[in-house]
Chain A
Amino acid sequence: MAHDRIKDIWGPTTGFAAGEPWPIRVDTHLRDGLREEDVEHWVQSACVLCSNGCGVDIAVRDGQMVGVRGREDDRVSRGRLGPKGLFGWQGQLRDRITTPLVRRNGTLVEASWDEAMGLVVERSRALLDTKGPLSHGFYTSGQLMLEEYYTLAVIGKAGIGTPHMDGNTRLCTATAAAALKESFGTDGQPGSYTDLDVCDAVFHYGHNVAETQTVLWARMLDRLAGPNPPLHVCVDPRRTKVAEASDVHLAVRPGTNQALMNGLLRELIHRDWVDHAWVEEHTVGYDELARTVEPYTPQQVAEICRVEARDVERAAEVFGTSDRVVSTVLQGFYQSHQATAASVQVNNLHLLRGMLGRPGAAILQMNGQPTAQNNRETGVDGDLSGFRNWNNESHVQELADLWDVDPVVIPHWSPPTHAMQIFRYAEQGSIGFLWIAGTNPAVSMPDLGRIRRILGGDQVFVVVNEAFRNETTELADVVLPSALWGEKTGTFTNVDRTVHLADKAVDPPGQARSDLDIWVDYARRMGFTDRSGRPIPRWDSPEDAFDGWRECSRGRPCDYSGMSYAKLRGSGGIQWPCTDDAPEGTERIYTDHVFNTQDDYCENYGHDLLTGAAVDATEHKAMRYDGRARLKAAPWTPPPEFPSDEYPLGLGTGRTVFHFHTRTKTMRAAELDEAAPDAWVEIAPEDAEPLGIVEGDLVRVESARGALEAKARVSDIRPGAVFVPFHYGDVDRGGRPTRAANELTITAWDPVSKQPAFKGGAVRVTKVADGDGPSPAPDNTASARTSRTSRKG
């Protein structure tokens, strides 16, 4: 029964041996006791509640969504769905915004589309006339469709000409992109999920896959249940399910990932687990890397990271002696100090052993959100569309030709503006028009007090496309009701480059419209045109937008030119690049070990990992990378905030398996809400005891920036560390004290990827009141109650 999937999160295992196909297991959930024969039609789609993108059919009856069923031919899931995929869609069936809202005398009131768009266009036009394109900023999401992103990218870059475009992908996946670009010259996932089916070892770097991508973990569990399971190594301060299943668990102190990585690299070099001939032929930078990592002996690493030296040695040995290793990386690295540097070292480990581009030898720099990949590809996260290089005039010219505009219109004088900087400009008022779509920065950004001040101030006019009232809509000047998944057609791409078509199954509620329709309407009202007088964008339907994107991507690493809606419909997902030469898509890239670092092809010239200082074209040329990977090194530096006497504990924030982001959908699905109804604070028994804290007590967590209150979960987290889930905001709280994790977080970001360092601030915890039972934290995940007792106890 699907309902058991809250308890049995990953479902029954279907063990298989290395090299066998992953067995099919079809998961289904229908509402109200409906049976499959009650369903009128099934509409092809894929789940948008994490970056895995499991293929799913939506069940429709009487014009309503009534259920979901995994697609057995899907290459990502082979029919499986996790708890969020099974239950989460129900959350979008109620509480929707159904008409536009505009602010009058301080309150939001219902308005017609004409009125609302009239206000938007009036303000936009006035600012463009007086202050120019740099007065406009766009902040989008990792949950829209490819067609919507690309349409906005063209409007922003060719119509308006603003460099201020980013997505909340900056908070979750910017480092994945940055690390891939530094090492290989462009974005683009080297590995494929099928590599997990044949590998000998899996390394999880700050990646709690058991909760972030449950179906991917099911795939790994099935290998563990088979005859020749791979070894697992886990780097995570929490005792996650992944850590429990691992052969080596390195619970490093927050802020020290780079020291650990340098230590692993040093072990590889000292024990000569290096393929020197391969390194010579396919990389540049070995000597400097070897020099940089030299001081990081296992003892030194043990000292810095507070782990056992022999565990460091053992982890290096697993890496050094396995034939086929898959490495996965996520927020434990991406949202921590030295994010890009540490993630690049994962690439370096594989490069030293020549371990990529063949089955089972793979890097998966993960994404968090379902469509983050498309945000990056199309260039609404700030990059130039199609992984092009803003610093390369011929790349800019290609886009100018494609869009039929003067190249000077396309902003390319410096890297596009990252999210944190966009909000800073909005704070200062130089961005006077900010359009937010499909994301809730008033809960998800660092240092919330400041974000609320910015959005609520009258120095900036805020437009929000949203499906639900939330903390952000309440600060907006205009709110536009948007259609969600299943209510519109579009494509999106998962972590391993698999493209799915998600067809429209039902009509959106009330007057809600797709973001694509909203932006095309805006562009038409603004009258954006190209040099030949044609409208920008030249399309108004998703399929035409997709065809526009196919042309834009042609010849670039993320080549979609060989794909079409017709081909995607009925398929189990197609991996880009998909071209005339590879019409079925491409499972694995870099199989010839030629990387995208050629001067005229790369997406950027790289950066200094410590400061983010950009390498320029001349310096890049002088290095003669020319298809060889860049081995980039950096020493460990202490994080900006280490625990102190005043704030003695290190803060980590993250997610639980039952929710997505700020819970806009998942809290409205009864099964998921009941499974994790409220926030909690995880603390180790060794730290809880001297503070007089026991399971379920109400505690207060304070940092130099703010405070929150929630119940304590005494768990198996490493001593000295505290964990707070980031899903919970204030919208359903009334006047009670806040529980939003980002009240505490530091405003600091990685110098290369500009991803905020949510993990690793310093906090103190105090007891507020006795509890009346256990905290609401789930018991079958990383937040499980501790099995340890404190040393003193």
Chain B
Amino acid sequence: MHLATYLGLLDEGEKTLAASFRQVAEGHAEEADVYHLCNRLAAECDRHREHLAPAVARYGEQKVEEPEDLHAEGLTTTRTGGVGLLRDLHDLYLLVCYLDIAWTVVGQAAKAARDKELIGIVDHCEGETSTQLKWLKTRMKEAAPQALIVAS
């Protein structure tokens, strides 16, 4: 069953995302809202993994060979200045998108498998993931004009 593969991907992805949120928080600590929110969203990703853990354990045993290497690239460094912030948030946005659709895919499988526990987990985490996406979009829309037009 390939569902196990996707659960592994989600688990790994949330771990990567948490690390990336923390990376951006530290790298842009001067932007107080980015610092606090990215740290909080990192903790949210940690919680997603905790929620997911029972399902990973249950399906883990039926895991088959991965069809190919499925994993998301995290952020390893951060940039500086207004444009740097925008680009780092942009990278985070792509990473969250990747997870957002992964949750959707797993949710579909959970429904077909009539796995009520997993459906509940996905409902909760998918909602938070899409809010992460909306926040990044809101923040980037605010930052873009100043960064792209005025900042030197």
Partner of B149, one of A132, A417, A424, A610: A132
Question: Number of A interface residues, CB 8 Å?
Answer: 30
Q: In the complex, A610→B135 CA distance in Å?
A: 10
Partner of A611, one of B32, B37, B141: B37
Chain B, Cβ-Cβ closest to A607: B138
Q: Within 8 Å of chain B (Cβ to Cβ): is A428?
A: yes
Minimum C-beta distance from A644 to chain B (A): 16
Partner of B30, one of A135, A424, A640: A424
Partner of B150, one of A134, A415, A613, A748: A134
B window 133-147: CB within 8 A of A? 134-135, 137-138, 141-142, 144-146
Binary A-proximity of B117-141 (CB < 8 A = 1, otherwise 0): 0000000000000011011011001
Q: Within 8 Å of chain B (Cβ to Cβ): is A614?
A: yes
Q: Within 8 Å of chain B (Cβ to Cβ): is A579?
A: no
Q: Which residues of B contact A637 (CB under 8 A)?
A: 40
Q: Within 8 Å of chain B (Cβ to Cβ): is A425?
A: yes
Q: Which of B30, B142, B145, B151 has the most CB of A within 10 A?
A: B142
A414-B141, A749-B32 are contacts. A428–B135 as well, Cβ < 8 Å?
no
Q: In the complex, A429→B40 CA distance in Å?
A: 29
How many interface contacts (CB-CB < 8 Å) are there between A and B? Answer: 68
Partner of A134, one of B31, B37, B149: B149
Q: Within 8 Å of chain A (Cβ to Cβ): is B115?
A: no
Q: Which residues of B contact A415 (CB under 8 A)?
A: 142
Q: Which residues of B contact A420 (CB under 8 A)?
A: 32-33
Q: In the complex, A524→B125 CA distance in Å?
A: 56
The answer to whether A613 touches B146, judged by C-beta atoms less than 8 angstroms apart, is no
Partner of B142, one of A134, A414, A610, A640: A414
Minimum C-beta distance from A710 to chain B (A): 26
Q: Which residues of B contact A429 (CB under 8 A)?
A: 152
A131-B150, A428-B81, A751-B33 are contacts. A413–B145 as well, Cβ < 8 Å?
yes
Q: In the complex, A428→B81 CA distance in Å?
A: 8
Q: In the complex, A611→B36 CA distance in Å?
A: 10
Q: Within 8 Å of chain B (Cβ to Cβ): is A608?
A: yes
The answer to whether A747 touches B150, judged by C-beta atoms less than 8 angstroms apart, is no
Q: Which residues of A contact B81 (CB under 8 A)?
A: 428
The answer to whether B131 touches A414, judged by C-beta atoms less than 8 angstroms apart, is no
Q: In the complex, A132→B40 CA distance in Å?
A: 36
Minimum C-beta distance from B82 to chain A (A): 6
Partner of B135, one of A132, A417, A613: A613
Q: Is the interface of A mostly helix, strand, loop or mixed?
A: loop
The answer to whether B152 touches A413, judged by C-beta atoms less than 8 angstroms apart, is no
Q: Within 8 Å of chain B (Cβ to Cβ): is A612?
A: yes
A413-B141, A424-B31 are contacts. A608–B150 as well, Cβ < 8 Å?
no
Q: In the complex, A612→B138 CA distance in Å?
A: 8
Binary A-proximity of B3-45 (CB < 8 A = 1, otherwise 0): 0000000000000000000000000001111001101110000
Q: In the complex, A132→B152 CA distance in Å?
A: 13
The answer to whether B138 touches A428, judged by C-beta atoms less than 8 angstroms apart, is no
Minimum C-beta distance from B112 to chain A (A): 26
A413-B141, A414-B145 are contacts. A430–B131 as well, Cβ < 8 Å?
no
Q: In the complex, A420→B31 CA distance in Å?
A: 10
Binary A-proximity of B74-99 (CB < 8 A = 1, otherwise 0): 00000001100000000000000000
The answer to whether A134 touches B146, judged by C-beta atoms less than 8 angstroms apart, is yes
The answer to whether B131 touches A611, judged by C-beta atoms less than 8 angstroms apart, is yes
Binary B-proximity of A587-618 (CB < 8 A = 1, otherwise 0): 00000000000000000000010111110000
The answer to whether A430 touches B37, judged by C-beta atoms less than 8 angstroms apart, is no
Q: Which residues of A contact B150 (CB under 8 A)?
A: 131-132, 134-135, 430-431
A413-B145, A424-B31, A428-B81 are contacts. A640–B36 as well, Cβ < 8 Å?
yes
Q: In the complex, A135→B149 CA distance in Å?
A: 10
A window 96-150: CB within 8 A of B? 131-132, 134-135
Q: Which residues of A contact B33 (CB under 8 A)?
A: 420, 748-749, 751, 754
Q: In the complex, A189→B99 CA distance in Å?
A: 42
Which 3 residue pairs are nearest across A and B when measured between Cβ atoms? A613-B134, A613-B135, A611-B135
Q: Which residues of B contact A (CB under 8 A)?
A: 30-33, 36-37, 39-41, 81-82, 131-132, 134-135, 137-138, 141-142, 144-146, 149-152
Listed A/B pairs (19) with beta-carbon separation below 8 Å? A134-B150, A413-B141, A414-B142, A414-B145, A420-B32, A420-B33, A429-B152, A430-B82, A430-B146, A430-B151, A608-B131, A608-B135, A611-B134, A612-B37, A613-B138, A637-B40, A640-B39, A749-B33, A751-B33
* Other 19 A-B pairs with CB < 8 A, given A132-B150, A425-B146: A134-B146, A413-B141, A414-B145, A428-B81, A428-B82, A428-B151, A430-B82, A430-B150, A611-B37, A611-B41, A611-B134, A613-B134, A613-B137, A613-B138, A614-B138, A747-B32, A748-B33, A748-B36, A754-B33
Q: Which residues of A contact B (CB under 8 A)?
A: 131-132, 134-135, 163, 413-415, 417, 420-421, 424-425, 428-431, 608, 610-614, 637, 640, 747-749, 751, 754
